Amino acid sequence: MFNGLPQAAESFLNSAAALASRHPRRITALVSALLLGGTGATFAVANLAPDAADLPVHTIVENIASLPVSAQMEALEANTQRLYRSEVTRSTDTADNLLKRLGIFDAQAAAFLRADPLVQQTLLGRVGRNVTVEASERNALLNLSARWSPEDDGMFKRLTVQKTASGFVSRLETLPMAASSRMASGVIASSLFASTDEARVPDAIAIQLAEIFSGDIDFHRALRKGDRFSVVYETLEGDGEPLRAGRVLSAEFVNAGKTYQAMWFQEPATATEVTASTSATHSLTKGGYYTLAGQSLRRTYLTSPLEFSRVTSGFSMRFHPILKTWRAHTGVDYGASTGTPVRSVADGIVDFAGVQNGYGNVVMVKHNSSDTTLYAHLSRINVKRGDRISQGQNLGAVGSTGYATGPHLHFEFRINGVFRDPLTIARQSETVPVAASAKPVFDKAAAQVKAQLTAAAYMLPGNAQ
């Protein structure tokens, strides 16, 4: 017997030796073929092996002790599935219907939510709070957490309801939010808000877009189907969930074929602007939006006396119901619901605040020796003659006084008594460039912004990142 070889191998080698002694030439040819054939060797050798039925069979019996039932239950529990689901709270939420929407069917959990003071004060009946639950595979509540940001102070609240061995417990914490940036783009099909909704851009960011470009684009009148936007914006998160929209960091808007770009920039403070308690190296002045060439986007005149919002974005110029003619040749009519705030388009002094035939309640603001704006059909007036007004300051509210059968704002821009197009005047008004001392820093930032906007332009609607 060969040392180290099993019995089957020894038998195979003995058979092969006997065959070789009887047919030496055939075996020589076989070995040559095996050396040349490579992979065929396995099959050739295997054919010479003894039949499997001739091999000895050994039976081995071994006793295996089963695990205790408690250990088996623990093992099953460790591999139990966990179910997760999220919802946003509604004003009509009760403990039962909130849990039902979350897929939780747990009478003990519902009873706790109904009775717990923290849950009653901070969750049930509150609108827009993100709620996430962890449930067992039998839809029993294990953990519930809700997050919201009540103030614009960089903090958020987190309510936690957790199941313990003795029942449910609740806890309320105040924690810092983390800032991150996102980008998105869209194409105008019907309205700005419809497009930002499709791109999952928050309303607060859509409104900022309209305000940033308000010196160049009248978002109530001048939007066109096919206009495009790209935006990079800040979002504030709690536990990785977006809770509040931050500031627009950069944006691009293509309106009627013309491209407008904007970026947020804070100029470094000069030596005289740095107080004794701040560092000159890190101090910044109040920021603002600039074109990528360094021109401020804050113009002398705004294009619209109404802030852009979901309420005002869907209205268009009205046919005058009494005079039976378009009012566009003397001004612009903005449809809006009664009570919508009306703002001054520029700094100035109130020249008239009262009632005039046809105009109803009206305010006139004198901005300089030649320029005057008029705001008519107001439901109320919030200023008086002689008041000094700042750009964007509230003058009153939209109404239907005077010659009007429905609520709207009639707005006029006059230069030396001659009616002018407010949009044209706004675009021609002066802007201030970034300071020369800050231009190198600005140009470096602008190059980065340009790359960001290029990337944002390739974002498909619904894929804000």
Q: Which domains can be identified in the chain, with CATH numbers?
A: 8-49 (no CATH), 79-176 (3.10.450.350), 183-290 (3.10.450.350), 332-428 (2.70.70.10)
Say whether pLDDT at 448 is over 90. yes
pLDDT at position 145 is: 96
Three-class SS string for 28-76? HHHHHHHHHHCCHHHHHHHCCCCCHHHCCCCCCCCCCCCCCHHHHHHHH
Q: Stretch 288-314: mean pLDDT, rounded?
A: 82
Please indicate whether residue 259 or residue 428 has the higher confidence score (pLDDT).
259
Q: Stretch 358-387: mean pLDDT, rounded?
A: 96
In whole numbers, what is the pLDDT of the chain averaged over residues? 82
pLDDT tens profile 38-68: 444 444 444 455 666 777 877 888 777 777 8
pLDDT at position 42 is: 42
Say whether pLDDT at 295 is over 50. yes
Say whether pLDDT at 73 is over 50. yes
pLDDT at position 311 is: 55
Say whether pLDDT at 75 is over 90. no
pLDDT at position 52 is: 66
pLDDT at position 411 is: 92
Confidence of residue 322 (pLDDT cuts 50, 70, 90): very low
pLDDT tens profile 122-140: 999 999 899 999 999 889 9
Confidence of residue 259 (pLDDT cuts 50, 70, 90): very high
Three-class SS string for 200-216? CCCHHHHHHHHHHCCCC
Say whether pLDDT at 276 is over 70. no
Cα 396 to Cα 12, 344, 346: the distances in Å are 107, 10, 15
Q: Stretch 89-103: mean pLDDT, rounded?
A: 94
Q: Is 251 exposed, middle or buried (0-12, 13-18, 19+ CB in 10 A)?
A: buried
pLDDT tens profile 174-232: 999 999 999 999 999 988 999 999 999 999 999 999 999 988 888 888 889 999 999 99
CA dihedral in degrees (240, 246, 250, 251; nearest 10)? 100
Beta strands in 306-370, from DSSP E residues, in sequence order: 332-335, 341-343, 348-356, 360-366
The 8-class DSSP code of residue 298 comes to -
pLDDT at position 451 is: 92
Q: Do the Cβ atoms of 362 and 374 come closer than 8 Å?
A: yes
Tokens 């005058």 -> residue: 320
Please indicate whether residue 405 or residue 436 has the higher confidence score (pLDDT).
436
- Which of 282-291, 296-305, 378-387: highest mean pLDDT? 378-387
pLDDT at position 171 is: 97
pLDDT at position 12 is: 47
Distance from C-alpha of 417 to C-alpha of 405, rounded to nearest angstrom: 27
Give the pair of three-digit tokens for residue 98.
């909130």
